[in-house]
Amino acid sequence: MPQINQLAQVAYSQFFWLLLVLAIIYVGIGLMMLPRIESTVEGRSRRIADDLAAAQAARAAADSVEADYRARLDESRAEALRLANEAKAAAARANEEQVRGANAAIGEKTAGAEARIRASSEAALADIEAVAADAAREMAARLAGLDVAEDEAARAVKAVIHG
């Protein structure tokens, strides 16, 4: 059969064209498309590396700002605590001065009241002594018929009362 005899010649020709087309595709991809793909991948890698470096720098800056913020916050807290303690101490001193002043005023009022009470007590005692001396004179006159002088009756009553 003639078709079978020609099979080897046709197969070699088709194999040649297949190799030629594959070589053209390989060269086309290798020379044209591969450099573009590599440049795109390298550009993306550079961009990613740059973005990572910028993110790292931003993170370092944020950490620095946070550290400054915390330091200022700690300083502010310390200042507030110092001011609160100073205010407490000033209030305690003022309160202590007011208490001292009140104690002094109360002491003066108490001393004045005690003096008035003493004076009233002494006046009442003197009145009681005078009344008792008069009563003793009248009793001595009515019961015993004796006339006792005012001085003697007052001395006798004092002796009995203070006695």
**Where are the domains positioned within the chain?**
2-162
* pLDDT reported for residue 1: 54
* pLDDT reported for residue 3: 65
CB-count exposure of residue 149 (10 Å: 0-12, 13-18, 19+): exposed
Q: Collapsing DSSP states into helix, strand and coil, what is residue 146? A: coil
Task: Tell me the C-alpha distance between 96 and 89, whole Å.
Answer: 10
* pLDDT reported for residue 140: 84
* pLDDT reported for residue 2: 62
- For residue 149 the two structure tokens come to 């002088």
pLDDT, one tens digit per residue, over 114-152 is: 999 999 988 988 888 888 888 888 888 888 888 878 888
Task: Tell me the C-alpha distance between 38 and 46, whole Å.
Answer: 12
Task: Tell me the C-alpha distance between 40 and 50, whole Å.
Answer: 15
Task: Tell me the C-alpha distance between 48 and 97, whole Å.
Answer: 72
Type of residue numbered 10: V
Within the chain, which residues score under 50 in pLDDT? none
